[in-house]
A and B are shown apart, each in its own frame.
Chain A
Amino acid sequence: MTTGASELRHAEVFPGEHVERAELERAWSRPRGLWGWICSTDHKDIARRFVATALGFFALGGILAFLMRLQLALPENRLIGPDLYNQLFTMHGTTMMFLFAIPVMEAMGLFLVPLMIGCRNVAFPCLAAFSYWIFLLGGIALYAFFFLNIGPDAGWFAYVPLSGPEFSAGKRVDIWSQLINFTEISALAAAIDLIVTIFKMRAPGMTLSRMPLFVWAMLVTAFMVVFAMPAVMTCSLFLTTDRLVGTHFYNPAEGGEPILWQHMFWFFAHPEVYIVFLPATGFVSAMLPAFTRRHVFGYPAVVLSLASIALLGFGLWVHHMFATGLPKIGTSFFSATTMAIAIPSGVQVACWVATIWSGRPVLRTPMLFVIGFLFLFVIGGFTGVLQAAEPIDRQVHDSFFVVAHFHYVLIGGSLFPLFAAILFWFPKMTGRLASERVGKIAFALVFFGFNVTFFPMHLLGMHGMPRRVYTYGAETGWAAGNAVATAGALVLASGIVVLALNLLWSMRKGPLAGDNPWEADTLEWTLPSPAPVYNFLRLPVVSSRSPAWEPDDREVIGVRTSCREVLLSNVLDARPDSLIVLPASSPFPLALAFAAGVTFVLSCFTPWAVPVGAVLVFFALLGWAFPDELKKRCALPRIQDLDEPEIRRLAEVAQ
């Protein structure tokens, strides 16, 4: 309704809304057909495939887990031998952590963040596409090698010296460490994209203190990715050079140190648990308002909890190493920090319970998963507190108790909110609602099956069953617990199948959702379902934490619709500060990902991969940097700083 910065200058461009819409449609659409699909740089396209691919890997990882459960169902079972079993659990852990949990969370972020903060795309659309292609190629390569029977078999934690050149001859571990490095590039790229998008592209008026809690969670998570990933990339690079070049980083006979691997690996892998968990808390905070009919209680407390979990999350890694004989003074410190992280987690849970208590709960299917999350995550948190006590940890460490604990944390704490989130945002992704009744059946099966599978594992661990054993003797007394767990896994798997069928069926046949089927409070629900390719017809202006409930009738109308121009705002209080033109669709993210993939995979076999790969990467980058047609059509320079009066006008709009 009010004046925008460049409105006067481009007044003739805005004759009517339908023209504006058509122009936006033309500027933001991808080319037709398969080529267009490959070239798409729309964050929604990318995020949808990202989520779908990650769920595909989740299914594969789940099948591997189910095979392990079958093998363990009976004592001295001969269904699966040790060699295959070791590959199964290595691939299961690697898949679930690197190819499912981190990617799916970042993918949900790539989908939701631009919609929630009111912008048209992520800050680096080509980087987002690149991130997806890297992830896809890395995952496919890993599984291709697995099916060729050169799957990694040293565990997803790949402890040296077992994973070193002497005790893991062959190519298996090379493939693991190179492909881990490779897929981590995807996580890093997506994290950087999210940080910049969140900092620079929020709708005018969306100050940091009005930012949706999910966006806060993704921001904190993305920073954790940026700090954690380099640790695992460094240590797996050391492993690669130890194996392929003959360095001795981990070789004790030459002054190397096996414990170094553990420090660096857990410095990454413990924060990783929170990288997977914090977005899930973001989902919960984003869904609760719709299902309790009120804002989330304690916004500042929840934000501070997120930040302190992230900080403390980097100070706990040694609790994975209490049994390595480190000095007591050091381990006591990590015992205390491990207990301490329960405080911010507890505050968050308390805020959610307070929200439910003072609100009016609506028990739709996503809310059921949220409630399931509360009950399961707290169990996982409590067993975590038990293990923070060093004497207890030295008993249950590396036993099935730990398996139970972290599946309660990861499935209860992350997967349940993720399922809730997928059901919740399904309308925004596909335009249709998933079936409530089938969803409730799936919830019941998953909740029941999960507990029957994993609860007995606590007891198995306390009775001495170590992790990663491919079989056990009848005299151990573990048969009953394992049989129950395997039966539970069957129920859990059937629940997940029901959920998947529900989504597949509803994608085509579900009832049309409308803009805001849950009456949720964030900006994406002001858009049609599914969201149009340009997201917002006019960029919104925000003046509250719940913009869909308390809409602001002002909007930004100075941004050109004839090309991919977007508005940048400043970090703290989201005042407009410049306009930029985002790149159009491009095939080069795929080309670069392919070039990098060839380099990484071939480097396991020959050093010639490096020079050959460098040439390929050079040409892919050259293509990437070449100015695209759409940008050429925009007469203005790529970054246009607004002059002072314009900023003031836009800022007034924002206040």
Chain B
Amino acid sequence: MRRARRAVAVTRAARAVAIASLWFFAAAQAGAGQRSMLDAAGTDARETAGLWWTMSTTLAVVYLVFGALVFWALLRRRARTGSALRADHDQPIERRLRVAVAISAGFTTFVLVVFLVTSFAVERAISALRSEAPSLEIKVTGRQWWWEVEYPNADPSLTVTTANEIHVPLQTSVHFNLVAADVIHSFWVPNLGGKMDLIPGRSNSLWLRAEREGRYVGQCAEFCGLQHAHMNFLVVAEPKETFDVWLEAQRAPSQPPADELSRRGRDLFVSGPCAMCHTVRGTDAGGRNAPDLTHVASRDRIAAGSFPNDRAHLTHWIVHSQSLKPGNNMPVLAMDGSELEALVRYVETLR
């Protein structure tokens, strides 16, 4: 009777653990189509996800066995305080326990060695990206709290500088040259691969290859001060032809605005405080402390991936950036409604 009850309790507990772990796996997988290290769209992420599934499935099975063992050990013969002490010198049992512990230690070691070798193999496969051709180099500079992105070219006039949105061609091994202008940041796009820190005084390298077309969100992963939370970026993985068209468009200077309102906006931009920090190629605005805005209207989001790039957010951002992203380096600007409207109209022309 008691034995049967115990058996029921063990089965129930085992089932609870099994359901919990299944739920975990289901939830881990539910990330498909959004930001997730398991919804792999790049070589690094794909290899890593494979390693993840191998290791986590093995560990989940081991955990179930462990849990069942503990429950069995607990329920096979209960006692109360005051019951007799078991003689420690019951040699046959102690010997059997010794064998059991030795086997578990041996098994642990074996599993860990397999994990280690598998992990080294995966690391090797990921590292192979660095010797792969054709390759594209992109220099990313981490700044409090945005990303400067540069597509270097042997001819400096063809170098493209942009911010917070990185376009990469599909099936190409991309070398990210990572540097930091102030404090340590970390470059992380979960769908494409693991992260790499950007450290002042050093330049780090990360190779990623996008295998699936899409837009993947990245975010700074190293605490970097007040607005660490709003230091996102977007990686757009697109076919080579689309990428080339995009890069060509980014090389072009900005077009002079066509209508009166945006011309007024440009004059405000170039003569006012904006130009102290921002660059708009094709105008006199050449500041280097803030994102290059030459083609800002072509980008999906503003304020380092924090808000959608539409008129409402842009307007709000220009005058209330300290409320949207407190502590960022953009000063509070005093301007009246008509000036603001002109400025927004001008920025919207920077496609």
Q: Residues on A close to B: CB < 8 A?
A: 81-83, 86, 155, 159, 161-162, 166-167, 252-253, 257-259, 290, 293-295, 297-298, 301, 323-325, 328, 332, 335-336, 339-340, 342-343, 346-347, 350-351, 353-354, 356-364, 371, 374-375, 378-379, 382, 385-386, 388-399, 455, 458-459, 462-464, 466-473, 476-477, 517-519, 549
B48 touches A392 (CB 8 A): yes
- Complex Cα distance A373/B118, Å? 30
A350 touches B188 (CB 8 A): no
Of B45, B74, B306, which one neighbours A395 at CB under 8 angstroms?
B45
B78 touches A459 (CB 8 A): no
Give every chain A residue within 8 A of B66 (Cβ-Cβ). 353, 378
For residue B115, CB closer than 8 A to chain A, the reply is yes
4 closest A-B pairs by CB: A252-B201, A394-B194, A360-B79, A469-B229
B78 touches A361 (CB 8 A): yes
Q: Residues on B close to A: CB < 8 A?
A: 24, 27-28, 31, 34-38, 44-45, 47-48, 51-52, 55-56, 59, 62-63, 66-67, 69-70, 72-74, 76-86, 88, 90, 93-94, 97-98, 100-101, 104-105, 108-109, 112, 115-116, 118-120, 122-123, 126-127, 144, 182-184, 186, 188, 190, 193-197, 199-202, 204-205, 217, 219-229, 306, 326-327
Extra contacts besides A324-B199, A399-B188 (17): CB < 8 Å? A86-B226, A294-B86, A325-B199, A343-B105, A346-B104, A346-B108, A347-B104, A347-B108, A353-B73, A386-B55, A386-B56, A389-B119, A392-B52, A394-B194, A397-B221, A462-B38, A464-B36
A354 touches B183 (CB 8 A): no
A155 touches B80 (CB 8 A): no
A298 touches B222 (CB 8 A): no
Of A259, A393, A473, which one neighbours B306 at CB under 8 angstroms?
A473
Q: List 20 A-B contacts (CB under 8 A).
A: A83-B326, A297-B101, A298-B98, A339-B112, A350-B104, A354-B100, A360-B83, A364-B81, A385-B112, A388-B116, A391-B119, A392-B52, A397-B195, A459-B28, A462-B38, A463-B34, A463-B37, A464-B36, A468-B228, A470-B229
Known contacts A294-B85, A462-B36; A391/B70 CB under 8 A: no
A379 touches B63 (CB 8 A): yes
A293 touches B79 (CB 8 A): yes
Nearest A residue to B191, CB-CB = A464
Give every chain B residue within 8 A of A353 (Cβ-Cβ). 66, 69-70, 73
Of A294, A343, A350, A361, which one neighbours B88 at CB under 8 angstroms?
A294
- Complex Cα distance A375/B14, Å? 12
Of A301, A374, A390, A549, which one neighbours B70 at CB under 8 angstroms?
A374
- Least Cβ–Cβ distance between B41 and chain A, in angstroms: 13
A346 touches B196 (CB 8 A): no
- Least Cβ–Cβ distance between B289 and chain A, in angstroms: 15
- Complex Cα distance A295/B73, Å? 16
- Complex Cα distance A190/B38, Å? 46
Nearest B residue to A351, CB-CB = B101
A458 touches B24 (CB 8 A): yes
- Complex Cα distance A259/B202, Å? 10
Nearest A residue to B306, CB-CB = A473
